[in-house]
């Protein structure tokens, strides 16, 4: 394969592109220069640290270590989702973690075992990047879905309570909120699937092509990963809402106020 590696000086030159957005911010007097510089530094440091660690993980290629890294990724996503949804970590961390674990593992293991036909399902160069792609998309969708679910109930508390008073179960009273949350959370992924390859070249396809593979091979990879992403996203949103619902409502079906950060 004809790879095109980025050498050190090429990467340094890449930072030169930042002169353009920096000039735009200065010219328009937009107060984001500090945030931009901090963001670039944080991005660089974080990616370098992760890169060094992943290099060690890839070199060792120990199944248990690869599995631990995937669990760490899920744990970080778990906390990020709860914070992004404006909820309290202590109340919902465990049920959401288990939901993410199940929702990620189903498409991940299917992708590795059935699509790629890997004999070792915890091969570092496959399990870590694929898990990262699935989890990254699930993270954004879960923030949207879970936040939408709880905020809609909070804002429509009176009609929600009226449904409970009329004899509806918690599942019946939250059904419409669940449907709306699922619809809003899955909409971006569906929009991406509908326009992929036309509006933009997706990440995996671009990476495979840059790695030297032919476009048709890259397309097969991209189709497979998009199906895995949509499957994982659907499962994690549904399980995430259902599992946190048990911790977020009391025995009378009322939304607990202490699940929100404020």
Three-state secondary structure call for residue 130: helix
Tell me, yes or no, whether 16 and 33 share the same domain.
Answer: yes
- Residue 119 is predicted with a pLDDT of 84
- Residue 196 domain boundaries: 62-259
- Split into its structural domains, the chain has a count of 2
Q: Render pLDDT for 193-237 as a digit per residue (tens, 0 to 9).
A: 888 877 667 777 777 777 777 888 888 888 999 999 999 999 999
The answer to whether residues 186 and 251 belong to one domain is yes
Q: What is the mean pLDDT of the segment spanning 3-18? A: 84
What whole-number distance in Å separates Cα of residue 93 and Cα of residue 106?
A: 20
The verdict on 32 and 152 lying in the same domain is no
pLDDT of 254 > 70? The answer is: yes
Chain mean pLDDT for the chain: 88
Q: At what angle do helices 203-210 and 215-248 cross, to 10 degrees?
A: 140
**In the predicted model, what is the mean pLDDT of residues 135-148?**
93
Q: Which of 60, 89, 110 is the last residue in one of the domains?
A: 60
Residues 190 and 221 in one domain: yes
pLDDT exceeds cutoff 90 at 134: yes
Q: Give the pLDDT confidence of 15-59 residue by residue, as tens digits.
A: 999 999 999 999 998 899 999 999 999 999 999 998 898 899 889
Whether residues 48 and 149 share a domain: the answer is no
Q: Choose between 212 and 105: higher pLDDT.
A: 105
- How far apart are the C-alpha atoms of 69 and 4, rounded to whole Å? 28
E strand or H helix that includes residue 127: helix 124-155
Check whether residue 101 and residue 56 sit in a common domain: no
Q: Are residues 192 and 74 in the same domain?
A: yes
Are 242 and 195 in the same domain? yes
HSE value, Cβ hemisphere, 13 Å, CA-based, for 16? 6
Phi, psi of 179 (to 5 degrees): -60, -45
Last residue of a domain, one of 41, 60, 79: 60
DSSP 30: -
Provide the pLDDT for residue 194: 85
In 3D, which of 230, 248, 139, 238 has the Cα closest to residue 179? Answer: 238
DSSP-derived letter for residue 115 is I
Average pLDDT over residues 63-76: 93
- Whether 106 and 33 map to the same domain: the answer is no
Same domain, 66 and 56: no
pLDDT at 2: 59
Domain final position from 60, 80, 95 = 60
Dihedral sign for Cα 127, 57, 202, 80, please: positive
Check whether residue 120 and residue 226 sit in a common domain: yes
Neighbours of 55 (CB within 10 A): 10
CA nearest 222: which of 140, 107, 133, 121?
133
Taking the C-alpha atoms of residue 186 and residue 237, their distance in angstroms, rounded to an integer, is 9
Both 204 and 242 in a single domain?
yes
Q: How confident is the model at residue 3 (pLDDT cuts 50, 70, 90)?
A: low
Categorize the per-residue pLDDT at 128 as very low, low, confident or very high, splitting at 50, 70 and 90. very high
């Amino acid at each position: 394969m004809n790879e095109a590696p980025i050498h050190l000086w090429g990467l340094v030159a890449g930072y030169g592109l930042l002169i353009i957005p920096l000039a735009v911010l200065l010219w328009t007097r937009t107060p984001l220069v500090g945030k931009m510089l901090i963001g670039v530094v944080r991005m660089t440091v974080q990616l370098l640290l992760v890169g060094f660690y992943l290099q060690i993980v890839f070199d060792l290629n120990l199944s248990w270590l690869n599995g631990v890294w995937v669990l760490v990724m899920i744990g970080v996503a778990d906390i990020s989702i709860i914070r992004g949804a404006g909820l309290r970590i202590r109340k919902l961390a465990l049920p959401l973690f288990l939901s993410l674990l199940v929702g990620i593992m189903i498409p991940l293991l299917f992708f590795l075992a059935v699509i790629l036909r890997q004999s070792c399902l915890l091969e570092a160069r496959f399990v870590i990047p694929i898990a990262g792609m699935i989890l990254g998309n699930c993270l954004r969708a879960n923030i949207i879905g879970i936040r939408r679910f709880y905020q809609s109930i909070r804002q429509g508390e009176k009609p929600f309570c009226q449904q409970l008073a009329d004899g509806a179960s918690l599942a019946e009273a939250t059904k419409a909120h669940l449907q709306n949350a699922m619809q809003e959370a899955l909409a971006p992924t569906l929009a991406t699937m509908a326009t992929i390859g036309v509006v933009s070249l997706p990440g995996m396809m671009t990476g495979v092509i840059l790695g030297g593979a032919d476009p048709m091979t890259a397309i097969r990879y991209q189709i497979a990963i998009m199906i895995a992403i949509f499957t994982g996203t659907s499962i994690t949103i549904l399980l995430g809402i259902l599992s946190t619902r048990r911790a977020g409502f009391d025995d009378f079906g009322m939304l607990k106020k202490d699940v929100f950060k404020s």
